[in-house]
Homo-oligomer: A and B are copies of this chain.
Amino acid sequence: MSAVDLEQRNNRMVNPPAPSRSIYVALCGGVGGAKLVSGLARILPAESLVVAVNVGDDFEHLGLTICPDLDTVLYTLAGLVHPQQGWGRSDESWGVMDELRRLGAHTWFALGDRDIALHLLRSELLQGGLTLSAANAELARRLQLDVTVSPISDQPVRTMLDTDQGRLAFQEYFVHRRCEPAVRAVEFAGAKSASLAPAVLAALESKDLAGVIICPSNPYLSIGPMLAIPQLRQRLRALDAPVVAISPIVAGAAIKGPAAKMMCELGVQPAADVIAPLYEDFVDIVVLDTADAALATDARFAVVPTIMHTPEQKVALARDCISLIQALRAQRSR
């Protein structure tokens, strides 16, 4: 390792975990999850963080395999993400999209030129026979990331929505129809037969696993597709290491995306503690925002500021997660 690399890694080790157990797995969707992951990447050494990313949003479009959540995590960690949107590339251009519009092609999914370059490279790697996780590792390497970012599975798991406008693929609902259809049920095609990607399975089975962090991502659309893989849920239930989940709902509203609207349509009151029953078979602590302190009715809940607008807020929430896990571990070892 070069001196520069070493320095970068050392800079990251603001809060080094106990050397005997040092792997943290973060289960992550798109924008909200990526924010926490960027905080975790700042305080953990690269070899201590494994980010397992939702693939339920993946789809084929214009001949490309597009993995929106993986892209958001990669772009965020590489410092390339569009700062206001939280997804896509900063400093983007739209030459291809303009021409696709002229050609009468589908243009409801925004594809910037820089973004397309990554999609082309991933599609070429996949067509060359790489698994999705191997292709993604190669993309991460080219973006000069040393954190492990893996799809939750190398098999396709596709989120399908049963709505008042019929059965819709996720992007058809989310982007093309702007979440307007009312959702009646959510289904994850392929999940039952999918298995965990090698890096995720190795981390969850490692004797060095310190804990699992469920990022503040939509429980139905981002975490749900992952938990629908039987191997993951079984593995989480059987873990010795603690599991901490951060609620994506603050004061009755989703920070981003359609979570709260969907909850209403599914007959669930949108409240921060709604994730507790969803994850109850494996979660040790559910983290609520200070705005929702009144919902922390028992010891299963922790309350910290969870809004992440600034880098400092991302690092602070990441530190809280690590601290909670360390405290749970200390308690268990007594």
Contact = CB atoms under 8 A, between A and B. Distances in A.
Interface of A: 60-64, 93-100, 102-105, 112-114, 116-118, 120-124, 126-127, 139, 142-143
- Secondary structure of the A contact surface, majority rule: helix
A120 B115 CA distance: 14
26 contacts: A62-B120, A62-B124, A63-B126, A64-B123, A93-B93, A93-B95, A95-B95, A95-B113, A96-B96, A96-B113, A96-B117, A99-B113, A99-B114, A99-B116, A99-B117, A100-B120, A100-B121, A102-B117, A103-B117, A103-B121, A103-B139, A103-B142, A103-B143, A105-B120, A105-B124, A116-B116
Contacts of A98: 113
A102 to B, nearest CB: 8
Given A113-B113, A116-B116, A121 B96 contact: no
A130 to B, nearest CB: 12
Nearest to A106: B124
Contacts of A121: 62, 100, 103, 105
A236 to B, nearest CB: 35
A149 to B, nearest CB: 15
Contact of A142 (B94, B104, B116, B127): B104
Nearest to A115: B99
> What is the copy number of this chain in the assembly?
2
Given A64-B63, A96-B113, A113-B113, A103 B118 contact: yes
A142 B102 CA distance: 8
Given A99-B114, A116-B116, A142-B103, A123 B62 contact: yes
Contact of A63 (B61, B96, B104, B123): B123
A95 to B, nearest CB: 3
A144 to B, nearest CB: 10
A64 B62 CA distance: 10
A142 B104 CA distance: 7
A94 B61 CA distance: 21
Nearest to A94: B95
